[in-house]
Structure 1
């Protein structure tokens, strides 16, 4: 399951980066008629992100019936169609249609894969390493695309750009083909009232009998969480979503949690990850010599992927909140230093110092925010609304990616280094957001996470009490009583 989900996410990273390496390649430009309009290339690139954003929103009502597994399979099927359309393009229109198809595919995959991983974890400590591994494969797809482009663009034939694009079908065939033979998650089966299938999958995941205490205990927790969330539905109204969670009368803060699923990935893209990954060549051209740009760009994106690796081994020990908070603080300092370095008169030493800072920034980004956000959003989304939480996460991710990718080159062209002030502000917002609103979800089952949000309060103002062997966190005496009753 981890390998199949990771392969889908690796295709997501590969597809996000593959076109960037051939956009200025003469055979590619010749095939689409050598466009001269300044908006054509940014729109080809950004149409993918826009399609993923729209898909994440409009597919949400259907994914609960499709299931996590069905949504992933659908995404891989459409990815093949989009790849074929792009690789066979001889016009801007066909290329954009192909990009829209792959955007639809990635919208499906990015909304379903983190949820699938979280809900198929057997132990509490499974979720963190699984999502960190997934993020590492996601980011690995970007440098893989870059290096394949780098090799093929040494040729000047039509195959030099068509082969790298069609290559992503390999990921889709592998992931979608194997997922066909895998089950959906037990929590989805229970939410669909398919209890016998849920029991069977839960037993298979735990490698034990259905009647074992471990399976029955997990089953009771899941069903109790579903019942508690259904009770909370009575105070749920769509108008409260307009406040983005500020006004939330639901007992389990369903609206606030779904709003957080949208804002966290949106803030992550505001912090500069896609901007640097998509336009590494453009950015490095401003701080280093032209002959080094291509080589350093490839190494930079590889370094980004390597930053995700340590998270696999540390996420359960350090905790989600700490990783996000201290990572954001470190990145704010680093990107501020980088901005100062590119703003002052450049010398050889200053340029190389800026390169070193951006390498460090992306490594920290890969560790602290790339995988942890997918994990955290999938954990805080309520079970009955986890498909909406996944869609909100993907929508936030792709909306800000579209804005960044479309506006980035225009911003660098128009105002130069001042554009980095926008990125700094995103990192500052990230620090404030995590400090005030994000409680620690590590060391808890997905069902126990529900009770972190039982009452109002800031993430840093809580106290603990024991419920059995677990520690639940709430904010006042009334919540103590309600939470103990719900846990029972």
Structure 2
């Protein structure tokens, strides 16, 4: 798609008439169809009657349902795989019937005594039954792997919602196949097929939900929201453990059929929510559904359909996608400014580390470990497993306030150290010759391990790939990460029972050592993404590549960017289809009034917002602005329209604005890190100012305000780096709180888009941000900073 075609489509988004399918989240259909409706551009769009934070919460609930379902299925087999009721239908999984215990052929009486907690089983050796138990559990991961591969191939074609919807339906079919397996030669095969089909549906969900959720969440809340979603894995596991324990008192096949069947509740709830929730705005833009994407963005903000912030976010998303439209499939494994291969490997490595760190060795087999390797009774093992799952779920809640405050890297480090030390504690307590208190120490080690895992490595590997990968390859790269997860999940679950039977001490020592190997990789290669919009993360990698700086270091030193700054950086770094800034952009016209457009081209690319701030503080009589203020602004989306309108601004105003921007150290130091480029533009702009500063003003100079220092010191608040709305808030807060406006400008921190809106409501009693008043609206194209979606 050419840039001209894209702009034409963006312009077409101004048309307000489009239609719905049978639900509010449907794709656009024939505009002349029977469901044609009219959207008032002054109204805030809604889904399920909700917008803004309420809609964000509902999206989080839907995403949480998907991962609660995943956690439930992950934990449900732990209490069932060694249950006598399960063995009656699947006798090949019963080690007692094979006599496969070291030095002992267990009879039914001794087995019942062990299950009652009256005696301790002799430690098992590797047997066909133990391997088959592992296979019944692990084959689910094969289905998940197949689902992730399908998402890799077809996820972008179908879209986020259709993939999640399909995954939930497939999962229900798999559950039905499992619970209808009865005694007979085909029972085991039917159960295995059901596990594979269930895994296929789960693979669809886990490959798609993190991407959908991250693309619908705002930058400042994305980590928190996605952590809640991932923490629901532990909640699902906890529910499964307690249900297993409760149904263990039944002495028939319902004790395992009902727990497996109950996961359908989560799948049905997910389907019901998806019918009415929106598609990812980034996916909609990638498929050309600009009107629907603008509607989703407006609902998430919340803001009117045609609000400047909504239009800006739509443009930022489109620019970020447009810059990668020419990427070929092989670019997924190549580098360059976008660093696709590196970012894909970073995301995939986090999933790899999660699995080989030993999490599923504990989650899937905690009950058998308590029962068979620590010598605890069947009922006590089930209770301990349920309590362990509860602690696991509670520990996941610790991550909620930490995810954005502490950052991703710190949580990675804390979790890795904690997991390693816990594994070594378990190892030490299982060394032969220890007294009975060593069993208690091993139980404590298992609890500590899942506590550290619950608030760090449980959530981070689902959040990090969704953040770290660029938009164009995000679905594909996330699917690769998830494939990695399921591949090593299957490997760990398959080899854990034989490894434990061979050497339980060596098994936990291995997992402890592997965790220590993660530390240098995290330290040197994992950049911090907390608080960054998805577009800022693209810029971190592009700048690191261009400036030959470590990406970890670049994430530390690069300040937060506004929407205008993001757009300027994208163009400067060659990440969009727009022309890059070059020496020729301004050289042709620095010394003539028509050349103002060339100067403005550079300024618009770099820092439109700061130029607007510079202009807004100039008295109208200096600039030739209309005396009656601005007429209603018709927002423009095209670069050519913006430049032609800015070109009509009187030259003296532009000269003074540029001078003020330089004086405030806004423009050159931050936009151009290359010294030669900075010097070139600096000399050119200074020459332009020298020529234009002497041009006659629109009013006689004797009417200018005094420039005396006391007036400036006491009455001129600093506006550099502030959005226009923040300047309004400075004056409103100064008035309300009886504080000098100069002091208020110093003490008030920079505000995000959401904080600005909150301040407006608190101090100015407005439902949402109005258009900035004054003559500036005639040239304004960008307002509040883009906080990301």
Q: Superposition pairs for residues 140-159 of structure 1, below 5 Å?
A: 140-159=235-254
C-alpha displacement at 1:33, in angstroms? 4.8
Q: Superposition pairs for residues 231-246 of structure 1, below 5 Å?
A: 233=327, 237=330, 241=333
C-alpha displacement at 1:472, in angstroms? 9.6
2:121 equivalent in structure 1: none
C-alpha displacement at 1:469, in angstroms? 4.5
In 1, distance between residues paired with 2:460 and 2:195?
27
Query: What are the superposed Cα offsets for residues 114-145 of structure 1, whole Å, 9 maximum, x if unpaired?
Result: 11111111x31221111111122111111211
Q: Secondary structure in 2 aligned to 1:368?
A: coil
Query: What are the superposed Cα offsets for residues 444-468 of structure 1, whole Å, 9 maximum, x if unpaired?
Result: 1111111222234545443624575
2:72 to 1, 14, 28: 14
Q: For the aligned residues, what is the CA RMSD?
A: 2.5
Provide the TM-score with structure 2 as the length reference: 0.57
1:446 equivalent in structure 2: 534
Q: Secondary structure in 2 aligned to 1:279?
A: helix
C-alpha displacement at 1:97, in angstroms? 0.7
Q: Secondary structure in 2 aligned to 1:57?
A: helix
Q: Superposition pairs for residues 413-452 of structure 1, below 5 Å?
A: 413-452=501-540
Flag the 1:171–1:279 CA change in 2: closer, same or farther, 3 A: same
The answer as to 2:217 corresponding to 1:125 is no
Asked if the contact 1:136–1:306 (Cα under 8 Å) also holds between the matched residues in 2, the reply is no
2:433 equivalent in structure 1: 345
2:158 equivalent in structure 1: 66
Q: Secondary structure in 1 aligned to 2:557?
A: strand
Flag the 1:471–1:187 CA change in 2: closer, same or farther, 3 A: closer
In 2, distance between residues paired with 1:480 and 1:8?
38
C-alpha displacement at 1:470, in angstroms? 8.3
Q: Superposition pairs for residues 248-259 of structure 1, below 5 Å?
A: 248-259=334-345
Flag the 1:258–1:26 CA change in 2: closer, same or farther, 3 A: same
1:245 equivalent in structure 2: none
The answer as to 2:274 corresponding to 1:216 is no
The answer as to 2:420 corresponding to 1:332 is yes
C-alpha displacement at 1:63, in angstroms? 0.6
In 2, distance between residues paired with 1:460 and 1:126?
22
1:303 to 369, 391, 406: 391
In 2, distance between residues paired with 1:139 and 1:308?
7
The answer as to 2:87 corresponding to 1:25 is no
Aligned residues: 474
Q: After alignment, is 196-205 or 352-361 more displaced?
A: 352-361
The answer as to 2:261 corresponding to 1:166 is yes
Query: What are the superposed Cα offsets for residues 244-270 of structure 1, whole Å, 9 maximum, x if unpaired?
Result: xxxx43321111111222221111111
Q: After alignment, is 456-465 or 7-16 more displaced?
A: 456-465
In 2, distance between residues paired with 1:206 and 1:76?
29
2:695 equivalent in structure 1: none
Query: What are the superposed Cα offsets for residues 307-354 of structure 1, whole Å, 9 maximum, x if unpaired?
Result: 110111221111111111232123223322332232253223332223
Query: What are the superposed Cα offsets for residues 362-395 of structure 1, whole Å, 9 maximum, x if unpaired?
Result: 1111111111221111101111111112212221
Flag the 1:184–1:425 CA change in 2: closer, same or farther, 3 A: same
In 1, distance between residues paired with 2:70 and 2:561?
42
Q: After alignment, is 213-222 or 376-385 more displaced?
A: 213-222
2:355 to 232, 244, 269: 269
Q: Superposition pairs for residues 184-203 of structure 1, below 5 Å?
A: 184-203=279-298
1:225 to 295, 312, 320: 320
Q: After alignment, is 271-280 or 295-304 more displaced?
A: 295-304
In 2, distance between residues paired with 1:418 and 1:357?
15
Provide the TM-score with structure 1 as the length reference: 0.91
C-alpha displacement at 1:471, in angstroms? 13
In 2, distance between residues paired with 1:467 and 1:76?
38
Q: Secondary structure in 2 aligned to 1:21?
A: coil
Asked if the contact 2:540–2:558 (Cα under 8 Å) also holds between the matched residues in 1, the reply is no
In 1, distance between residues paired with 2:375 and 2:397?
28
Query: What are the superposed Cα offsets for residues 395-414 of structure 1, whole Å, 9 maximum, x if unpaired?
Result: 12111110111110010011
In 1, distance between residues paired with 2:414 and 2:572?
33
In 1, distance between residues paired with 2:401 and 2:235?
18
In 2, distance between residues paired with 1:469 and 1:372?
26
Flag the 1:471–1:316 CA change in 2: closer, same or farther, 3 A: farther
C-alpha displacement at 1:10, in angstroms? 0.7
2:617 equivalent in structure 1: none
In 2, distance between residues paired with 1:481 and 1:343?
61
In 2, distance between residues paired with 1:466 and 1:369?
27
More helix by share: 1
Flag the 1:471–1:192 CA change in 2: closer, same or farther, 3 A: closer
The answer as to 2:484 corresponding to 1:396 is yes
List alignment gaps of at least 5 residues for structure 1: 242-247
Query: What are the superposed Cα offsets for residues 37-58 of structure 1, whole Å, 9 maximum, x if unpaired?
Result: 4332222111101111122123
Higher CA-based Rg: 2
In 2, distance between residues paired with 1:483 and 1:345?
65
Asked if the contact 1:11–1:172 (Cα under 8 Å) also holds between the matched residues in 2, the reply is yes
In 2, distance between residues paired with 1:18 and 1:330?
26
1:284 equivalent in structure 2: 370
In 2, distance between residues paired with 1:436 and 1:472?
28
Asked if the contact 1:278–1:405 (Cα under 8 Å) also holds between the matched residues in 2, the reply is yes
In 2, distance between residues paired with 1:408 and 1:78?
29
The answer as to 2:377 corresponding to 1:377 is no
Flag the 1:192–1:56 CA change in 2: closer, same or farther, 3 A: same
In 1, distance between residues paired with 2:66 and 2:523?
32
Asked if the contact 1:448–1:472 (Cα under 8 Å) also holds between the matched residues in 2, the reply is no
In 2, distance between residues paired with 1:335 and 1:27?
32
Asked if the contact 1:64–1:387 (Cα under 8 Å) also holds between the matched residues in 2, the reply is yes
Query: What are the superposed Cα offsets for residues 53-80 of structure 1, whole Å, 9 maximum, x if unpaired?
Result: 1221233121101111111101100011
In 2, distance between residues paired with 1:451 and 1:370?
28
Q: After alignment, is 346-355 or 34-43 more displaced?
A: 34-43
In 2, distance between residues paired with 1:357 and 1:3?
33
Asked if the contact 1:465–1:471 (Cα under 8 Å) also holds between the matched residues in 2, the reply is no
Q: After alignment, is 287-296 or 155-164 more displaced?
A: 287-296
In 1, distance between residues paired with 2:560 and 2:86?
62
2:19 equivalent in structure 1: none
